[in-house]
A and B are shown apart, each in its own frame.
Chain A
Amino acid sequence: MRCADVAVLLAEQQTLPLATTLALSFHLHECRACRARAAYLAWLEGELAGLPRVTAPAALRPAVLARVGEGRVGVARGLRAGVVGFSAVASPVGPLLVAYGEAAIVRVAFGGISEADFAATLAGRRDPAVRRDGTPPAWVAAVVADHFAGRRLPATVFDLQGVPAFGRQVLLKALEIPWGEVRPYAWLAREIGRPGAARAVGQALGRNPVPVLIPCHRAVRSDGGLGGYAFGLALKERLLALERIR
């Protein structure tokens, strides 16, 4: 081992294979210059890591928020208007009842849920007078068509503000499962950094406010079992069959 090799190895001492570590320590034992250099590097690392942390001045956050136009209610670009209307959209699994705001889909139901029941679940939201549209807005029809054409929908077409943080992470991850594929609940749990939370993932998927479009039906059990479905297993099977999975 040459001194030049030592220089490189010192930078990654924690990850070296055993034989290299041994060769390195042998060289360090023999070579005074490399030993001094290694000592210097260790010392400097310690000193740099020990520099006192400086905290941001208190004025920084308000200044940033003022510059981006946040910090005032109602200005945030992301604020959605809640539900403005709903409509029945034809689909290969029967009519989907879709409720939407100005620019995002808020809720979906299907499988024999009556319009009256669906409208009742929407009442009490921000807008009490929910419109029943005879035909869905073009963008809503396009989103549904995109889904059944196997295209992945962007997260921004959904309004998930009523969903708690954990559930939202689960749903956004489920949105990434491609058409024609399934993933175990445990996979979703791992992907969002909560391995071991497979059961909670299942529950969060069961509360998916926009089923079908956020494809919670593509989550199954690790042993190949279908798992559950809020609208009944028959519909889950139909949705999967449509994607030629079963």
Chain B
Amino acid sequence: MPGEAATGELLAALVCREPTAFERLVAAYQDRLFNFAVRYTGSREDAEEVVQDAFVKAHRALYQRLAADRLVNLSLTPWLYRIALNTARNHCRRRELPTAPLPAPDEAEDPSGGLHSGGPEDEAERDGLRGALAAELRRLPDRYRAAVVLRHVEGLTYAEIAEVLGQPLGTVKANVHRGMLRMRPGLAAWHQTGCAEEENHALR
């Protein structure tokens, strides 16, 4: 993850239209955005399309729309996550519309266990805890899923997430928390042991 100084340097290169600047931006952020998109969409194929589209949108904004003054003070990381998230949302909407009407968020549970057709990245993950985590994330209503993935999978700060989502800090915190709690019943089989250990530890 690029540090603050590296991000500033990248921005300066973008502002000055240095020929390799955009390529460096892609190199610096492709893995983070891809990981985010895989965890958000639940599918590698979808994620690849989403990240490609997101970078193309970012390029258009950087080179055609954004005034240089705004560009200099851009928070690059939240801005890029925001573009990726919006792209992923549109992508999922497009994909789901022709097959079935959008289910209400609360009924979004899917008999297949929530795994998207593309599936998580490797077969081993289909089973076991990681598969369950991916499925539970996928099953979360969008507002919780985005918040939980950005906070606990991508490790963004609450302030950064507030910027990504355009929401107040308190809303972000509440949504992260509620999202985590919503996943609890689905994960009961896995956290039982962990929970018992914690309690023993606490009682000692």
Contact = CB atoms under 8 A, between A and B. Distances in A.
A57 B48 contact: yes
A51 B154 CA distance: 10
A71 B23 contact: yes
A10 B19 CA distance: 47
A36 interface: yes
A152 interface: yes
Nearest to A57: B48
Interface in A69-89: 70-71, 76-80
Contacts, number: 167
Classify chain A's interface size.
35 or more
B177 A8 contact: yes
Contacts of B22: 65, 68, 70, 76
Contacts of A61: 23, 26-27, 30
Nearest to B132: A47
Interface of B: 4-5, 8-9, 12-13, 15-19, 21-23, 26-27, 30-31, 33-35, 38-39, 44, 47-48, 51-52, 55-56, 59-60, 63, 67-69, 71-72, 121, 129-130, 133, 148, 152-153, 155, 158, 173-174, 176-177, 180-181, 183-184, 187, 191, 194-195, 198-199, 202
Interface of A: 7-8, 10-12, 28-29, 35-37, 39-45, 47-49, 51-57, 60-61, 63-65, 67-68, 70-71, 76-80, 152, 154-156, 158-161, 165-166, 168-169, 172, 175-176, 192-194
